[in-house]
Amino acid sequence: MKTRITELLGIEHPIIQGGMHFVGFAEMAAAVSEAGGLGIITALTQRTPADLANEIARCRKMTSKPFGVNLTFLPSVTPPDYPGYIKAIIDGGVKAVETAGNNPQKWMPMLKEAGIKVIHKCTSVRHSVKAQSIGCDAVSVDGFECGGHPGEDDVPNFILLPRAAEELTIPFVASGGMADGRSLVAALALGADGMNMGTRFIATKEAPVHDNVKQALLAASELDTRLVMRPLRNTERVLNNAATERLLKKEKELGDKIKFEDILPEVAGVYPKIMKDGAMEAGVWSCGMVAGLIHDIPTVKQLIDRIMSEADAIIAKRLEGFRAA
């Protein structure tokens, strides 16, 4: 399938694996890229720029196809070594970066000078237009259904994607609620040039996470996510578990007096315990409503091949069949 995204990134299928904390290792990125999509290494999962450089080198040994790096710009008193991470990306020959979080404008000259394509993740049309104006090559438009941070506007993709199509001239991909061939065709119909999948890729054989995480996704329905940290205007969609219930109880009890420090036990440093050790109640972890559409744990290649064959069948048969004779 040929779209503006496949042309921009030099990939076979218009499918991008989103950046995911303690999931986006070299194994995950290489598997997606080998299957014809764009795999993504998550930079801030790597503790230092040197660690990221090593992870990029590991991925290079696993695939000769294009892959990218996610770099999230966090509001922080002591920010990560962003210049160091960007240098590791440039020196590693990575040609695509998914930026997220704060406005990446400060870092754009370094990335663009190195010939890197920048895809910025946005949860609103206004932020997408801003990303376009500062020179981003593409946007990942993240609807309210998504796992992780959906922003504060609560606009689902059925509205957000066509609105983005009305305002943007650069390519964009649909993120949030993406799982199968139906998702891809729907995204294309609404104006996107491809799709970005996060949660769905966790439930694959190659995903470097504990089997407990994969089984939790298999068992979950579309009703099993919750929104936390809304009073802090840092809303995150997570899978419901004991830690989520504890956090929501604190939010209810403390009301508008709640501070980030009050919820630290549920959110700080929990990802290694969950993703690596399989301690499913250790804290809250990002999960999209798309969990309701996850019914198996295929290989990444099986998943992507299935998505593309489903998409082809929907376009060529189902949709064509609706046309009046």
Tens of pLDDT, residues 70-93: 999 988 878 999 999 999 999 999
pLDDT at 179 over 80: yes
Mean pLDDT of 310-314: 98
Average pLDDT, the chain: 97
d(CA 277, CA 202): 15
Start and end residues for every CATH 3.20.20.70 domain found in the chain: 4-208+296-321
For 4-208+296-321, the fitting CATH number among 3.20.20.70, 3.20.10.10, 3.20.20.150, 3.40.190.10 is 3.20.20.70
In which order are the strands placed within the sheet that holds 195-197? Answer: 15-17, 195-197, 172-175, 138-142, 117-122, 96-101, 67-73, 39-42
pLDDT at 117 over 80: yes
Tokens of 201: 């890729």
269, burial (CB in 10 Å: exposed 0-12, middle 13-18, buried 19+): exposed
Tens of pLDDT, residues 93-115: 999 999 999 999 999 999 999 99
| Percentage of the chain exceeding pLDDT 90 | 98
Report the largest interatomic distance among the alpha carbons of the chain, rounded to a whole angstrom.
64
Looking at the chain, which runs of residues are DSSP E strands?
A: 15-17, 39-42, 67-73, 96-101, 117-122, 138-142, 172-175, 195-197, 225-228, 236-239
* C-beta of residue 187 within 8 angstroms of C-beta of residue 161: yes
